[in-house]
Amino acid sequence: MKYYEVNRSFEPKVIGVKHGVYQLEIDEKAIGHSPSYEEFKSFFSSKNSDFWKSQDKLYTLNPPTIYGKMLKNAKITDVMGYAPSFRFLDNVYSQKFIDIIKTFDIGVHQTFDFKMNDVPSKYFLLFIETISNEKIDFEKSSVITGHKALNNVKHHSISDSKEYVQFLNSNPLATFEKIAIDKEHFGKDIISVQAISNNFYSEKLVDFLLDCGITGLQVGYNNSVQLEFV
């Protein structure tokens, strides 16, 4: 089974805005400042250093509907970026998208209601249960610095997650060429790994989403990190 990194599209011709980053903005005024919303914001904040130790808590959160406003000239797609974004909830997804992926094996996940002014369709924020750095097999993974185009790629030996964090502090542009995870995840149609910013989608799911006309996807056919199951 092949896997590809999948993100939202940043192409102006697809999303309609020239800056190519996001299509809508959070409407704090419409959301209000209820305790449940403040708890939600706090949990998905960059200041929450215990996030990966407390993933289970997000399933108990019950925030109000999150509201957003479309930017001028922005096009409505099934996958859209927004700002300011909540940490680990980078995109909003249409009801059509969510209905499709729920028919596949996407593991434990959670959605949060998202509504846009003057857009009748339902949208959602989506979190997929994530494989933490501690569960990566670093000895069988491959961390690199440099670029193939510049012919200066170097492979680095990393033994565990603590050494990886230390290595990133001095090499912030380091990336994975290959990342090894437990074989129990093989066969899932969406795999989320803490060390990789994009989720991995199975080729089967990617093909089905595109066949169904899902818009706003960007698939890394030629530049995805390789997944290895061990």
Share of the chain above pLDDT 70, in %: 100
Place of tokens 């670029």: 147
Contact 84, 21 (CB under 8 A): no
Selection from 198, 185, 189 nearest residue 79 by Cα: 198
Q: Lay out the sheet containing 199-202: strands in order across.
A: 130-131, 190-193, 199-202, 3-8, 217-219
- Burial of 220 from C-beta contacts in 10 A (0-12 / 13-18 / 19+): middle
User: Own/partner pairs for 92-98, CB < 8 Å, 24+ apart?
Assistant: 92/24, 92/68, 92/123, 92/124, 92/125, 93/123, 93/124, 93/125, 93/126, 94/121, 94/122, 94/123, 94/214, 95/121, 95/122, 95/123, 95/124, 96/212, 96/214, 97/209, 97/214, 98/124, 98/126
pLDDT at res. 184: 97
In this predicted structure, what is the pLDDT of residue 197? 92
pLDDT at 54 over 90: no
**Looking at the whole model, is its pTM more than 0.85?**
yes
State the average pLDDT over residues 30-52.
Answer: 92
Question: With 80 as the cut, is the pLDDT of residue 4 above it?
Answer: yes
Confidence class of residue 147 from pLDDT cuts 50, 70 and 90?
confident
Q: What is the pLDDT of residue 55?
A: 87
pLDDT at 149 over 90: no
Q: Is the pLDDT of residue 65 over 90?
A: yes
- Judge residue 184's burial from the number of C-beta atoms within 10 Å of its C-beta, 0-12 exposed, 13-18 middle, 19 or more buried: exposed
Q: What is the mean pLDDT of residues 91-116?
A: 97
Confidence at residue 150, expressed as pLDDT on a 0 to 100 scale: 83
- 49: confidence class by pLDDT, cuts 50, 70, 90: confident
Reported in sequence order, the residue ranges of the chain that DSSP labels E, i.e. its strands, are: 3-8, 24-26, 66-70, 79-86, 89-94, 109-116, 119-128, 130-131, 142-145, 154-156, 175-181, 190-193, 199-202, 217-219, 226-229
Using pLDDT thresholds of 50, 70 and 90, give the confidence band for residue 118. confident
Residue 75 CA to residue 119 CA, distance in Å, equals 11
pLDDT at 19 over 90: no
What's the mean pLDDT when you consider all of the chain? Answer: 94
- Sorted by sequence, the CB contacts under 8 Å of residue 135 that are 6+ apart come out as 181, 182
Q: How many CB atoms sit inside 10 A of residue 63's CB? A: 20
Looking at per-residue confidence, does 184 or 117 come out higher? Answer: 184
Arithmetic mean of pLDDT, 135-162: 92
Q: How far apart are the first and last CA of the chain?
A: 14
Separation between Cα atoms, residue 109 and residue 165, nearest integer Å: 26
Label residue 20 by pLDDT band (50, 70, 90): confident
Residue 56 confidence class, pLDDT cut points 50, 70, 90? confident
